[in-house]
Structure 1
Amino acid sequence: MAIVLYAPALALSQTTGLNIWLSVVSIGVICTFYSSVGGMKAVIWTDVLQALVILVGLLASIIQGCLITLGGFKRVFSIAYEGGRIEFDSISPDPRTRHTIWSLLIGGSLNSLSTYGFNQTQVQRYMCVRSTRGAKQALFINAVGAAIVIILSSFIGVILYAYYAGCDPLTAKRVSDVDQIFPYFVMDVLGGKPGLPGVFLACIFSGSLSTISSGLNSLAAVIIEDVYKGLMRRKLSDERQGLISKIFSVVLGAVVMLLTYVVSYLGSVLNAALSLFGVLSGPIMGVFFLGFFFPQANRHGGLVGFLTSLALQLWIFLGAQITKNQMKNVRLNLTIDNCTEPVNITTILTSSPIKRDPLIDFYSVSYMWYTPIAVLSVLIVGLTVSYLTRPHKPNEIDPKLLIPIGDACCCCLPKRIRDFLRCGVDYENYFQEKHAYESDVEMKETHLYDTSKKHSFSSNTASRTLSVTDANTKHTSSSNVVSPTPSLTNRNTKRKYPSNVVSPTLSVAKNGDVAYDNSALNLADEESLKTRF
């Protein structure tokens, strides 16, 4: 979160000239205030509004920079291709190469899975939805929106290179950090358009505040549930829990603002953010994988594997920060030949050789591989320690707590291989029970839906009949309306429904009756299925 706070402070400092640390404090105070006062509801609604602002800011930058200033998409991509900025065939197996097809497919997939599968800020959002189906729908919608934002952001990077292809602002000393190039571009191109620089700032601030507010809220919730309640060992009232949550949010906000000073020495914001994400979230995901796929794993293996993986990741990350001056420069060639203003560049030459760290190749691993390395180290160490400290027997584990990787990912594999990947767990009875339960739920929903349609039809028929009767007898049941008698046998399949299905007793419909609403029962069935399987 400190990295996310530092990024908009850089943008605000570049566009307004405001001191960067004053920007950090002002942004941090605002975000901490509405996160602690408003709670999760305020976080979600502000995220919705901020997402719209982000899209508007990105589109404004693309339209002005690409279509109006540079002359269209064709020219932008032509300049980027000639400069070697567009590559689709980078298949180098070298893990030190920053971006390759393999690092993006493997590392990027695991990073996304860690974000949406095991991140507290995301899981907290899932729990705000009424059902599992609603959470899945929200996740699919988010995937589309996230893809759009990533594509637009990447295209803005192409526009920046095309605009400054002959005069790099960083080399020309017009900006002091690579993260200030986009704000510099906005003031250079959009500065003369009233309102557009403000739209850009709102875009940057929205992305930052959205992430920080979610993080503060989720961290406060975790501390209360897992730390405070565990130490106090007593149940808290809702009012007291809300007060403690606000206090923790304020304290965490202050800590985030202090950590921003450390972040300022980490170099590129994007690189630092993704690196730290892999360092911290990779071991957590590894522990989940260890428990999901390997029934022999125990708590000792999970704990030792997590700590070992975390130590390894911190070693790589800190080593990369200490020896980054000895590493090969990953930036492609840039030029200042087309700069219209004179540029003063000072080059320091030294005859003494730079001492090279013997582990420099180890530290040079691309940040995209941090998460895969973390997961793999947890699995190796965790399984080893588990086998040395009395592993669990497969028949001691409830199958619903495990994921058969062979059945989930490779269902077309031969049965012998799938049985081997099940690690001795008997999933057959579990699958049969689950299938039978889901069939029962589906039949209940179908039966209740058919009953609802019949009742609605009966109600409409009764209303039409009563409308033509005498006013004195309009409350009398119509003789030509037959009350439907629900049956526990499906007309098409002739299968008996479970005995626990409660059939509603229907009477002759009267004027003003409404259709039978079975949404609550459907929701109850779905929640029961979610907790059982």
Structure 2
Amino acid sequence: MEPTFDGWDFAVLITILAISAMIGIYYRYTGGKQKTMKEYHLADQSMTTFPVAVSLMASFMSSISLMGASNESYQFGTMFCVINLSYILSTPIAAYLFLPVFYRMRTMSVYEYLERRFGHSTRLAASMAYSVQMIVYMGIVLYAPALALEAVTGVSKVTAILVIGLICTFYSTIGGLKAVLITDVFQSLLMFAAIYSVIVVSAIKAGGLAPIWQVAEERSRLYFTDFSLDPTVRHTWWSLTIGGMVIYLSLYGVNQVQVQRLLSVRNLESAQAALWWTLPILSTLSFSTLFSGLAIFHYYRNCDPLLEGRIESRDQLMPLFAVDTMGQYPGLCGLFVSGIFSASLSTVSSAVSSLSTVTLEDYIKPLYKCFTKKPLHESKSTLPSKIMACIYGVVCIGMAFTASSMGGVLQASLTIFGVIGGPLLALFSLGLCTTRANQRGVLLGLLIGFIFSFIIGFGGPKQPPTPLDFKADGCTAAGNDNMTLVTAALTQLQNMTFNMTTAPTTTATTLIEYSWFYRLSYLWFSVIGFLITLIVGYVSSLLLETLKWADNKQIYLDYQQIDVDLFIPPLARRLRKHNVEEMTKF
């Protein structure tokens, strides 16, 4: 297949990337010119609700999410849309239980909470886990779309990685959080434009939206009713709702990227409103992306590109569709690619900004105070932050090139996001929701939680999911060579389907025997890590307290010595009431 990315498309792409860079330059030389920590890391706490709400959505809706969700409905149907229910259930928990605690503290690093609640060791353990998580994820966010776009547009993945990495590093470094937030708004519009360009073009070629929906129904893509209690079923109402809640809360409740954005608004009510506004924006993009997968399926309903041999992975379907259908509209394919690039830009810039903040607050400032015996002055803090932002941008680019040589490790690298998120959520939950948890107990729980999560996430052979049916009988015009590929691919797919649906046997020459433990749905990984960390952390804390081995600075049985602002509002109110009652006795 010859790439059809022409001059108009490149002009659109270059213009949009230049606008992102110009936003960073604008905020570098306006306002306070990013000279104070409050302006550089918290946008001077002057942001309004809407841009923060959009940025919250854009921060973790990367190009992987866009192409992955579209591929999900193309291959497996629409069951994944049920995850939006978890967003609805989780938003009030994040807005009214977790957020008020962080907002009262007004700290730049969310992990400072853990030091105040437990101790410095807990803070370091959590911030190091977060840093590893985001660095690995940044590399994947850059590499995956670059690989897909190279395959179908002719844009070199080296060029794509360098362009995205350098531009987002540039405006994140010089423009601070305010530039990141405003570019997120701009880039979110492009993300929606990319998705709707796919839907509109497909609807034009199909003669409307109704034929797309009809074909999806006829080919079993419309599916919303799997209530199975079997945890090995990939997507059910239970796995999507419960697993989705843990993932959502780990991202929007206690994650540095999101909490830093929520602290950039004027007051708590505005921050809570931003979280609520994120919900419809996120769900709209989720439903639209899933429908775009159905639209692409309608176009390739009789000739699947993977069976035809045109692509190596169905993750490349969306850019392939753009090249196949948008070439007749000048600049439209460029707009689509800009949307994919923008999804990566928004995610990487968010990670660069948050990692810079965590590094300054959790590592540089404590080390400076340790060696000089005095705190790092405000006027000297901005430059190290900018240097760290630049360094993390370069690290991100390096990780992307490293990912290109890892092959199968890519899937594992994406899994690490959920594997780390569940235990970290449990760690914060132990601090926010209990008075008896102590540092040694929660660190033991965190360690065991990570061990179990990594074993489940990366151990043992994983059973590949079984896709729905695909056809290749419409590929006859491709020629005899392509039909040979089609026949071979169909045979391979039939054998694969047979192997995955047949009960495992002990015959080593035919089938792989997948352990039940490793057949669990990936949505349960974060849930298991969360529960193990929570249970082990709490029980260990009680045992250590009983044995007088707890090392917290607080005395747990004397509620008057507990800082009640470190707990969720309902528990804080109960502790205040208890303190008042105790004082009236004297």
Normalising to structure 2: TM-score of the pair? 0.65
> Pick from 229, 233, 236: which aligns with 1:100?
236
Seen in structure 2, the aligned counterparts of structure 1 residues 216 and 357 have a Cα distance that, compared at 3 Å, is: farther
Letter of the structure 2 residue corresponding to residue 389 of structure 1: L
The superposition leaves residues 280-338 of structure 1 with CA deviations (integer Å, 9 ceiling, x where unpaired) of: 21111011111222221111111111121122212222226xx24xx244322322121
SS at match of 1:309: helix
Cross-structure match for 1:393: 557
The correspondence of residues 256-271 of structure 1 with structure 2, limited to 5 A, is 256-261=396-401, 263-264=403-404, 265=406
CA distance in 1, matches of 2:334, 2:279: 28
Instruction: Report the alpha carbon displacement of residue 263 of structure 1 after superposing the two structures with TM.
Output: 4.2
Tell whether 2:316 aligns with 1:180.
yes
The correspondence of residues 183-262 of structure 1 with structure 2, limited to 5 A, is 183-233=319-369, 234-261=374-401
Instruction: Report the alpha carbon displacement of residue 80 of structure 1 after superposing the two structures with TM.
Output: 1.1
Does the aligned pair in 1 maintain the 2:232–2:520 contact within 8 Å? yes
Letter of the structure 2 residue corresponding to residue 402 of structure 1: F
> Pick from 287, 307, 321: which aligns with 2:447?
307
CA distance in 2, matches of 1:431, 1:83: 65
Residue identity (%): 37
Letter of the structure 1 residue corresponding to residue 557 of structure 2: K
CA distance in 2, matches of 1:431, 1:141: 38
Letter of the structure 2 residue corresponding to residue 248 of structure 1: M
The superposition leaves residues 478-526 of structure 1 with CA deviations (integer Å, 9 ceiling, x where unpaired) of: xxxxxxxxxxxxxxxxxxxxxxxxxxxxxxxxxxxxxxxxxxxxxxxxx
The correspondence of residues 32-431 of structure 1 with structure 2, limited to 5 A, is 32-66=169-203, 68-233=204-369, 234-261=374-401, 263-264=403-404, 265=406, 275-319=415-459, 323-324=461-462, 327-339=463-475, 340-342=477-479, 343=482, 344-345=484-485, 346=488, 353=509, 356=512, 360-390=515-545, 392-393=556-557, 395=559, 397-403=562-568, 426=575, 428-429=577-578
Seen in structure 2, the aligned counterparts of structure 1 residues 200 and 64 have a Cα distance that, compared at 3 Å, is: same
CA distance in 2, matches of 1:299, 1:352: 48
CA distance in 2, matches of 1:230, 1:372: 33
**Greater RCO, CA 8 A, separation 6+:** 2
Higher helix fraction (1 or 2): 2
Seen in structure 2, the aligned counterparts of structure 1 residues 83 and 385 have a Cα distance that, compared at 3 Å, is: same
**Rg comparison, structure with higher value:** 1
Seen in structure 2, the aligned counterparts of structure 1 residues 103 and 425 have a Cα distance that, compared at 3 Å, is: same
CA distance in 1, matches of 2:429, 2:139: 28
CA distance in 2, matches of 1:213, 1:424: 38
Letter of the structure 1 residue corresponding to residue 156 of structure 2: N
CA distance in 2, matches of 1:228, 1:400: 26
Instruction: Report the alpha carbon displacement of residue 40 of structure 1 after superposing the two structures with TM.
Output: 1.1
Normalising to structure 1: TM-score of the pair? 0.71
CA distance in 2, matches of 1:73, 1:431: 63
Does the aligned pair in 1 maintain the 2:149–2:316 contact within 8 Å? no
RMSD over aligned CA atoms reads 2.9
The superposition leaves residues 384-429 of structure 1 with CA deviations (integer Å, 9 ceiling, x where unpaired) of: 211221163273544443348xxx6xxxxxxxxxxxxx79965645
Does the aligned pair in 2 maintain the 1:7–1:208 contact within 8 Å? no
Instruction: Report the alpha carbon displacement of residue 255 of structure 1 after superposing the two structures with TM.
Output: 2.1
Paired residues in the alignment total: 410
CA distance in 2, matches of 1:232, 1:286: 31
Cross-structure match for 2:162: 25
Instruction: Report the alpha carbon displacement of residue 142 of structure 1 after superposing the two structures with TM.
Output: 1.7
Cross-structure match for 1:4: 141
CA distance in 2, matches of 1:431, 1:52: 52
CA distance in 2, matches of 1:238, 1:400: 26
